[in-house]
Amino acid sequence: MNHEHDDKRAIGRPLGSMSRRGFLTGVAAAAGSAILAACGGSSTAPTATTAATVAATKPAAAVSPAASAAASPAAAAPTTAAASAVSPTSAAASAPAAAGTTAPATSGGTTVVTAPTAAASTGATGGQVSVKWTKPATIHPLFSTAGIEQGAERQMFGALVRINDKLEPIADLAEKIEISGDAKTYTFTLKKGLTFSDGKPLTSADVAFTIERAVDKRTGSYWRGRLLALDGAADFGDQKATTIKGLVTPDANTIKMTLTNPDSTWLITLGDFNGLSILPKHILESTAPDQMAKAPFAFAPTPSGGAFTFADWKADQYLQVKRNETYAGGPKAKLDSIFFKVITQDDVGLAQLESGEMDVFAAVPVQELDRLRKNPNLTVVSVPSPSVTFLAFNFGRNTPFKDKRVRQAMMYAIDRAGIVKSVLNGEGTAVNSTIIGPDWMGIPEGLNQYAFDPNKAKQLLKDANFNSSAKFSLIYIPGTKVTDTWLPIAQQQLKDVGINVDLTQLDGTEYTKRLVTGATPTTTGDFDIAEVDGGVFRADPNVSAKYFATVSFVPAGGNYGHYSNPQVDDLFKQGVATPDKTQRKAIYTNLAKLLNEECPWVFLWSPNSIHAYNKRLQGFKPSSYANTFMWNAEEWSVTK
């Protein structure tokens, strides 16, 4: 009827004159074309140059290796590349001998370190390599705090000094380093003809600029603390002075650094984190110090002065660096480019490794070792890592762990060697102190091995009148298969002798807060026991000072539990006062014995670092003592 006609027009036409059908067709067409466009286009096209993608290291704490090789006036045995045949695959013909440290020559109290002469590498030029990387917060050298970031920066930037696979400092952009007899003055002579990748020369002015910005408090750089050892740096950083007194650049190629106190490990400090990268003054001087972290340079660091330059950065995907054709600091890199692929899940990275999409995977989880070894395309190497897994005690609260016997009981109660064998597949060694290297130090003899002995543990606990009904919280960050496996085992073994421990899982920030930032100089954080993996102990015995000396109390150091022992402090002081290795070895042997007896931690083990890489990669030399496995990436090459 007419009435219904009108209603139909009113009700069925909410869109006015357009019919329902027309509207729906329009929507379908729009959606369809949108989807087709989505399939067809991609704004994330990687560049056309073939490049090598390299897997980056996990951010193991690469905080302060303190290898003190450089300043020894005694004739140190030169470590040449041939000697560093740690990697079984260095039999590859193209392995160059460029990594050797020349023995520092001493004359009249001054030690001179010269840059190693790079032998001509026989690898072919060209090709690309993919490396596993984890997501970086920044790739700006002044602000990076994680090893993975620095590993990538190291490829792009040159530094005065960098660290080789033996954790020894070698001269990089500097041709010659003179160290005064009192270890207070360091004079660097830059190589001739150095430039940034945009052609502008790299001179001492750039070095001075980099150091000044790093020291400046307004910048907020990670490097500030390390560089405060320079005379006058503190005043400059607080803007009380306009220059750093101890930093002088007499000419374009010379930099003279004077320290406030003698420090024979200064080169290690400069070489730490893959070296203090030299920034281009002509690009960055117009950026205010407090704006540096935000500047575009932080995610597009070009130009740079290293063997590679920045090519591309795709967030959450990859960083690409390509060969620097104007590099004058040594032989040019072989690879066309390196891709650092961001991988958040190990499984994904391993799948890419096996399918050939990834070439290098560092820090392979130990469970995958056997499977990867069977893969005919991969080479797997396992080297001792510099870190130690341990349980830290909180001495800041009233716990029975203040009694040495209880701590020793824990050492006996946990079957450390057994866990290394079963959970770590033998990839590691149980340790009984943190004095475990480097080579000249070795592992001291005469330490109590604390072999697995629950009865002895029970006896010690009885002697100490330990109350078995007490419960303690052990905080840790879950997520690593190895840790998640061995902790319940240890918990059970402790329970068997009467120590009841609750495993408390925390996420990263809460853990950091309870262990470090929640502490004050006089109070410790909120934990009874903490499981920690880290440290670079194998680099130098003095690294342990960061964890056991009274001056290293958290939050300003690594002494998480506020352990304090005047004897220990004294020995640490003695250890750095002399550069003579024989004397140091004796001092640290005594220290090791003391730590071994006192057990301020439950010393567990030092795990191995396992790296896997595709056989087509040549020149890979796993750093025997650190996770900086890309330290010689400019020597890498690929066979097709």
Partner 1 sequence: MGQYILRRLAISIPVLIGITLATYIIVNLAPGDPVTALISPEAAASLGPDWVAQQREQLGLNKPLPVRYVLWIKEIGRGNLGYSAQDRQPIAKKIRERLWPTLRLMGMALLIALLISVPVGVVSALRQYSVLDYVVTISGFAAISIPSFFLGLVGIYLFSLKLGWLPTSGLATVGKPHTLGDSLRHLILPAFVLGLAQAAPLIRYVRSSMLEVIRQDYINVARAKGLRERAVIYRHALRNALIPLVTVVALILPLLLGGTVIIEQIFQWPGMGTLAITAVKGRDYPVIMAINLITAVMILVSNLIADILYAVIDPRIKYA
- Within 47-86, the residues that bind partner 1 by CB under 8 A are 47-51, 53, 59, 61, 63-64
613-628 as b/e: b if 16+ CB within 10 A: bbeebbbbbbbbbbbb
Between 60 and 568, CB nearer to partner 1: 60
Site for partner 1 in 257-296 (CB under 8 A): 290, 293-294
Is 337 near partner 1 (CB under 8 A)?
yes
Least CB distance to partner 1 at residue 141 (A)? 15
Least CB distance to partner 1 at residue 55 (A)? 12
Is 566 near partner 1 (CB under 8 A)?
no
Q: Which of 182, 347, 370, 463 binds partner 1 (CB under 8 A)?
A: 347
CB atoms within 10 A of CB 296: 9
Is 20 near partner 1 (CB under 8 A)?
yes
Between 304 and 387, CB nearer to partner 1: 387
DSSP conformational letter for 517: I
Interface stretch with partner 1, choices 32-40, 411-419, 482-490, 632-640 (CB under 8 A): 32-40
Is 616 near partner 1 (CB under 8 A)?
no
Site for partner 1 in 535-564 (CB under 8 A): 535, 546, 554-558, 560
Are the CB atoms for 518 and 548 separated by under 8 Å? no
Between 507 and 597, CB nearer to partner 1: 507
Strands of 229-350 (E only): list them. 247-251, 254-258, 308-314, 318-323, 337-342
Q: What residue type is assigned to position 583 of the chain? A: Q
Number of amino acids touching partner 1 (CB under 8 A): 86
Q: Which of 157, 196, 266, 339 binds partner 1 (CB under 8 A)?
A: 339
Report cis status (omega within 30 of 0) of the bond before 438: yes
Between 503 and 516, CB nearer to partner 1: 516
Between 95 and 156, CB nearer to partner 1: 156
Query: Phi and psi of 393, rounded to 5°?
Result: -100, 150
Is 128 near partner 1 (CB under 8 A)?
yes
Is 146 near partner 1 (CB under 8 A)?
yes
Half-sphere exposure of 441 (CA within 13 A, CB side): 27
Is 371 near partner 1 (CB under 8 A)?
no
DSSP conformational letter for 483: H
Is 489 near partner 1 (CB under 8 A)?
no
Least CB distance to partner 1 at residue 441 (A)? 21
Q: Which of 1, 39, 91, 120 binds partner 1 (CB under 8 A)?
A: 39
d(CA 387, CA 428): 10
Is 224 near partner 1 (CB under 8 A)?
yes
Q: What is the DSSP string of 542-587?
A: GGGHHHHSGGGBTTSSSBTT----HHHHHHHHHHHH---HHHHHHH
Strands of 205-253 (E only): list them. 247-251
Is 619 near partner 1 (CB under 8 A)?
no
Are the CB atoms for 427 and 610 separated by under 8 Å? yes
Between 355 and 398, CB nearer to partner 1: 355
Site for partner 1 in 296-325 (CB under 8 A): 298-299, 314-318, 320
Q: Give the position of tokens 């005043």.
A: 235
Between 24 and 29, CB nearer to partner 1: 24
Site for partner 1 in 506-535 (CB under 8 A): 507-513, 515-517, 532, 534-535
Q: Which of 42, 242, 398, 522 binds partner 1 (CB under 8 A)?
A: 42
* CA-wise closest residue to 129 among 343, 318, 360: 360
* CA-wise closest residue to 71 among 193, 209, 195, 169: 169
Which H or E element spans position 156? helix 147-156
